[in-house]
Structure 1
Amino acid sequence: MEYKEETIKSNCIYKGNITEYWVDDVLLPNGKKSKRELVKHAGAVAIMPFTDDGKMIFVKQFRKAIEKSIFEIPAGMIDKTDGTPIETGRRELEEETGFQARIFELETAFYTSPGFSNEFLYIYRAEELIKIENPLPKDEDEFLEIVVLSYDEAWEYYNENLIVDAKTVFALFYWKMKIELEQKNK
């Protein structure tokens, strides 16, 4: 049996630069009514940039929602200037780190929090990095520090609760799996 909710009424209560907030009245599969509070988002891209010496580039950034600075893989919103998620990823990598990549491959994509948001996140692996002399500028409201970490250092940051967001935790487990597969195939 498929459980589906029918939208009876949909009301946008706020439209911001990044998200829209909606309250929907829905008819449940059992015939009862309920409300759903939803966040609509254009989608985003995150990048796992691996250096030639086997490290990964992270950015340290203050996040107002949690009132602290954390270490994350580079990421950003898909905007109207980007034709595809890969274009967003390439742009964000250059803006946030000053690098481009010869290898830029999609590893996975998923909804970040489908219980209340439609944000869809693409995660790319970037390798064979090239430092750009005059990279694209960062967003005006973006203040970040570039940090290059070894595998062990990244896991220390995770254990110290400095890496706490889902996309970056995914990147750590991806990195672990990649290393384990390389060791297994030796």
Structure 2
Amino acid sequence: MAASLNEGSGYWYGQDGQLDNSAAILKSLRDYRSAETAVRRSTRDSMGMGETDILALRYLLRAQASGRAVVPKDLSQFLGITSASTTSLIDRLVASGHVRREAHPTDRRSVVVVPTVESDKEVRVTLGAMHRRMMAVAESLSPDEARVVVDFLHRMTRALEEVSEANS
């Protein structure tokens, strides 16, 4: 599973100019992340939104799909931003027609943030084809291959979390 040396920094490569299996895997992860970043940038541009706005909208759509009401504090916690920043974010999303504020069903002093039907449609149209292609790749794996990939990605996630915790 050696890949040829044509791009990237030299520390990934052996003396013969070839990637070993471990380095090839890490390079493949980097390539995937680069492709994902490019798609995210394109999506943000096409929707006229920033990264935080997209993350907030996806969070709101998932919450809506699960029947969960979201108050501004939930968004603040999820995004790791201040309540003032959350207010500005919600104001932007309301102004762009992506969300609306509604009275909280059980707390008269509070509001819930609800994505609009139009924003749900826009996200489905914008991201639907990409999600279908990615799902087709995942579905093409055998159950054993899927277990290996999931286990590998969980272990990689834990490795990164451990580094992050050590640096905190």
Same fold (TM over 0.5): no
TM-score, scaled relative to structure 2: 0.27
**Greater radius of gyration (CA):** 2
> Between Structure 1 and Structure 2, which shows a larger proportion of helix residues?
2
User: With structure 1 as the length reference, what TM-score do the two structures score?
Assistant: 0.25
